[in-house]
Amino acid sequence: MMATNGVQQAFGPDEVLQAMLTMRGGDSDKKKKAHEYLELFQKSAAAWTTTFTILQSNAEADVKLFAATTLRGKITYDLTTQVPAPEIPAVRTQLLTLLKRFAAGPKPIRVQLCVCLAILAIQMQDWKDVLPVVVSSLGDDVESHTCILDFLRVLPEEVTEGRKITLTDEELRVRTAELLEQNALQVVQLLINYAHSSPAAATNPQLFECITSWLREVPVNDIVKSPLLNIVFSALDNDTSFQAAADCISTMVRETREIDDNIETIQILLPRIIALQPKIQKVVEDDVESYRSLTKLFGEAGSSWAVAIAREPTHFRPLVEAVLECVARDKDRDVIEYTFDFWYDLKQYLVLEKYIQARMELLDVYAKLVDILLKHLEYPESESGNEKDLFDGDREAEEKFREFRHNMGDTLKDCCEIMGVSECLAKVLEAIKVWMQKYASMASDNSVPHWQQLEAPLFSMRAMGRMVTKEENTILPQLMPLLVQMPAHEKLRFATIMVLGRYTEWTAEHPEFLSPQFSYIVSSFDTESKEIVRAAAMAIKYFCTDCKQFLSGQIVQLQQFYDQILDKLPEVSQEEITDGVATVVSCQPKDEIFKHLKLFCDPLVQRLMAKANNATDNDGKLAVADHLQLITLFAQNVVVLPPVERGQEDPAVKYWQEVFPILSKVLASFLDFPPICERVCRCWRFMVISHRGAMAPILPDMANQLASGFATSKQGCFLWVTGAILREFSDDREHVDQAMTDHIYVFFEAQATNVLRFLSELSPQDLPDVTEDFFRLVVDGLLYYPQKLIPSPLFSPIFEAALSVLNLEQREPLSATLHYLRDVLGWASTAFHPSYDYLSASDAEQLVNIVKQLVATQGEALVKRLLAGMMITFPKDCFADASGALLSLFEIFPNQTAEWVDRTLRLLPGGTIVVTEVDRLMKKLREKLNTNDTGDIRQIRSILQDFTNTYRRRYIAPRDGLGALEGSRFRFAG
């Protein structure tokens, strides 16, 4: 069945059925080939006949569904290119016949066929009587009604959300008016007639789905004032139609968001929605799905009318209370998430000065909400009595609960803004006191009764942390002493640590509370719980960051604690605690920086050397790489500010000069192990970024190590550091000698030359990471040294190398290369204005002319690569940059670029495009070019994107290559 290159494949029903059978099997190789075959089938001209044949056969339902889906794609993308215009009405006739056949189901096939008919109706611009033809063709029996309702539902969705494939903007606008606006009243009357036709029709969920779909096109007031409103609300009394009817009312409400334009409609809807409140208790007990739909309805009404509630809180209060009741009754937390947006939206208005009266009137509602949320935040009681597994093995429920708690935390912040932080914290304090009065005396090291009631207010306190100001002096001074007295329970200790870590900014303003808190955190490292140790390490980081001025006097003790605890911690916690203590070192007096860096880092360097000496296997080498990250954190954080005067020695850099030979030796020993190379380079990169010009004493040795390291290993990480040096020493020009700046550029050119040689010997496919890092480096070279790079002999080869990279299909190297190309084209664009104060106007003009000359020579090759990429090979994430580059070419050389595009499109593989399509596209492009309007020229970008997207959907890359669009191999003689 599977053909090789150059052999015509058969795409008949039997072959397709065989491929579908193969897809059900377990042989992955055969399944892959079958999948490739079916993809080719879907794009072939033979698919038209085959899909209709399968749909008229006795094939199984899944095969017919595949055929219907394929037919949908054919009508969407291939109608105008594979079906002659006189034969299109026959496609319509066949579709109507099939719809009649599948009116009774299966539903998925029927819906796909309705979508097919809708897409066909959009494209058949001379078909003016769509609704009458569809209704009359399908008949008047019950099954036909089902089919008509499906078609009516999908028509607005396809017109408004479907891609415009072959229609121009104007054609689509006209067709939208013909199919939707001009049919709206007729559709409403059809739906009214259907609803009145029988009791079953009046409660058919399809009816309400259809109304929902057309509410985008029909003014909501027309529906609300029609008999349909009573029918929709009456359907809430029927279990079958409840959810669809509730969703329909939610959509009506959503359409009234512009309050002032819909006052009359809201006045009709509000009392009817409030009248639904008694249903809450019933659906809570009987039907969770209906409970969910009802909560969504109340929440949507509240969000849509939030400004109206703020204006008339008394009038709308019953609606707010209905939402609150939905939250309060939600014992299993099934629906509360649908109210979060409402509480936020209402809060956004109530905090405004003009709505202060409404805020006061609704204060009690938010106070009740806090009480309800505190209850909902409680962990469940384990049914099995196993404290270690509160969810009895249900990991999904546990994860859902965690996510839900954080979302509730956001709503608690909303309550803080309405009530005031101290008032919310007072509820936390009260909840903790209530627990202590009831259960504190019963708690022991082994058992803490009802700890959930204590943990929930702790979690809520943590969630409110961002809202609490450093000046809060009412509740927190009462709360903080209680926190460090929490009973010995893992969940309580974890929650307490997280709270203390969250409030370190407040503690920095109230240092009298620091000592017991810090002691509590330090003592937590003695527990066996990994979760608590991780939390404690994170808390130490925040204490060191925010309270560093108070901890700096205890730096020796801090180092002893750090050295003692470090090896006991997991990797991520080692990094967090190191980040914290490095911050404390950074705030030491300038003349003590060297001493304290040495105090903290010498033991780390000794550990590094020991690990490096013992690293004989992969795990040992990874341990070296991980440990290097701790040294990097000190290099990153311990920075002398303000910088030392020019000519003076930087104490931090003085220390790194001592360490540099050791790092170089580690690097040289593990050049064949990328993780270690990357970590050493990362360390050096942060040294350069953090210390900038002060790094000058280390720079020559570093440059040598980077050059030899890259030459030996061909790893892109050596280019990262080169880029950092380029950036930081260029940004810091006033502190750097001109000779140093010149040396840096020479170093950059040497690295670039090395990379070009590698790219000449190997293809970019062999070095995708190096390719990415190289072009990110070249972007920096072009930004900081344009006056040197653009006139250099390397400029043209780098551009040619970029063209060869555009053959790749990986996102990262392509993205970096496209950014470089756009920056080059930016120099030649008419919109370019040099912002370099060290470049004269004449020098800048000379650089612009060099770039234009290069683009004139290489422009057609660039257009070929960009279009081939957008149509066939590029990942989707690269389209914006590729189309941006094409737009720049149109701005620089409009007529030449149009010619290049025209010639490129006519090189596309035979059978993948028709000449009339190219002619139509080029006509559109030239019309935009001839207007001399910047806006029209920018529309070229979207025109090309639409065209290439269509081509890409319609065809897959030919197996025998891209023919004349195939990219050429890069060669470098330098």
Quick check: 536 pLDDT over 80? yes
Residue pair 736/693 in contact by the 8 Å Cβ criterion: yes
pLDDT at 396: 83
pLDDT at 934: 62
pLDDT at 960: 39
- In 3D space, the residue among 881, 886, 891, 885 whose CA is nearest the CA of residue 935 turns out to be 891
- In 3D space, the residue among 167, 227, 169, 172 whose CA is nearest the CA of residue 202 turns out to be 227
| Secondary structure percentages of the chain, helix, strand, coil, to 5 | 75, 0, 25
Transcribe 798-854 into DSSP letters: HHHHHHHHTT---HHHHHHHHHHHHHHHHHHSTT-----TTS-HHHHHHHHHHHHHH
- In 3D space, the residue among 890, 886, 888 whose CA is nearest the CA of residue 926 turns out to be 890
Higher pLDDT: 140 or 420? It is 420
Distances in Å between the Cα of 472 and the Cα atoms of 476, 506, 509, 546, 887 are 7, 8, 10, 17, 55
Distances in Å between the Cα of 495 and the Cα atoms of 211, 415, 501, 749 are 49, 21, 10, 55
Quick check: 910 pLDDT over 80? no
Distance CA 499, CA 493 (A): 10
Question: Model confidence over 354-366: pLDDT tens digits?
Answer: 999 999 999 999 9
Question: Dihedral of CA 813/814/819/821: which sign?
Answer: positive
pLDDT at 737: 74
pLDDT mean over 583-602 = 95
pLDDT mean over 251-276 = 95
Among 423-427, 758-762, 773-777, 805-809, the range scoring the smallest mean pLDDT is 758-762
Residue pair 463/498 in contact by the 8 Å Cβ criterion: no
CA 156 to chain centre: 28
Distance CA 969, CA 58 (A): 53
pLDDT at 59: 87
Q: Tell me which range, 16-30, 448-462, 746-760, is most confidently predicted by mean pLDDT.
A: 448-462
Higher pLDDT: 767 or 405? It is 405
Backbone region of residue 876 per phi and psi (left: phi > 0; alpha: psi in -120 to 50; beta: other values): alpha
Quick check: 162 pLDDT over 80? no
Q: Which two tokens stand for residue 205?
A: 């969920």
Distance CA 699, CA 746 (A): 13
Q: Which two tokens stand for residue 705?
A: 């190590």
- For residue 307, the tally of other CB atoms under 10 A from its CB is 18
CA 777 to chain centre: 26
Distances in Å between the Cα of 324 and the Cα atoms of 169, 295, 370, 372, 507 are 46, 10, 11, 9, 35
Quick check: 937 pLDDT over 80? no
Number of H helices, E strands in the chain: 51, 0
- In 3D space, the residue among 820, 732, 744, 831 whose CA is nearest the CA of residue 788 turns out to be 744
CA 406 to chain centre: 19
Distance CA 43, CA 360 (A): 64
Distances in Å between the Cα of 969 and the Cα atoms of 78, 500, 651, 752, 801 are 34, 60, 50, 18, 9
35 pLDDT band (50/70/90 cuts)? confident
Place of tokens 């009266």: 357
Q: In a 3-state reduction of DSSP, which class is residue 917?
A: helix
Transcribe 863-899 into DSSP letters: HHHHHHIIIIIS-GGGHHHHHHHHHHHHHHSHHHHHH
Distances in Å between the Cα of 283 and the Cα atoms of 100, 272, 290, 292, 962 are 38, 18, 6, 9, 61
- In 3D space, the residue among 804, 772, 753, 768 whose CA is nearest the CA of residue 973 turns out to be 753
Distance CA 419, CA 371 (A): 13
Quick check: 923 pLDDT over 50? yes
Question: Model confidence over 4-23: pLDDT tens digits?
Answer: 333 346 788 888 888 888 88
Transcribe 628-665 into DSSP letters: HHHHHHHHHH---SSPPPTTSPPHHHHHHHHHHHHHHH
Q: Which two tokens stand for residue 924?
A: 């559109």
Residue 777's identity, in one-letter code, is L
Residue pair 686/642 in contact by the 8 Å Cβ criterion: no
Question: Model confidence over 665-719: pLDDT tens digits?
Answer: 999 999 999 999 999 999 999 999 999 888 889 999 999 999 999 989 989 899 9
Distance CA 10, CA 16 (A): 9
Average pLDDT, the chain: 89
Angle at 827 (CA atoms; ends 823, 832), nearest 5 degrees: 110
Place of tokens 């009065």: 437
Distance CA 331, CA 378 (A): 11
- For residue 11, the tally of other CB atoms under 10 A from its CB is 20
Angle at 535 (CA atoms; ends 530, 540), nearest 5 degrees: 125
Share of the chain above pLDDT 90, in %: 63
Start-to-end C-alpha separation, the chain? 50
Question: Model confidence over 321-379: pLDDT tens digits?
Answer: 999 999 999 988 889 999 999 999 999 999 999 999 999 999 999 999 999 999 999 98
Distance CA 895, CA 644 (A): 56
Quick check: 968 pLDDT over 90? no
Distance CA 333, CA 284 (A): 11
Higher pLDDT: 67 or 838? It is 67
Quick check: 224 pLDDT over 90? yes
Quick check: 387 pLDDT over 80? no
Transcribe 464-533 into DSSP letters: HGGG--TT--SSHHHHHHHHTT--S-HHHHHHHHHHHHHTHHHHHH-GGGHHHHHHHHHHGGGSS-HHHH
80 pLDDT band (50/70/90 cuts)? confident
pLDDT at 836: 60
- For residue 260, the tally of other CB atoms under 10 A from its CB is 7
Quick check: 731 pLDDT over 60? no
Quick check: 877 pLDDT over 80? yes
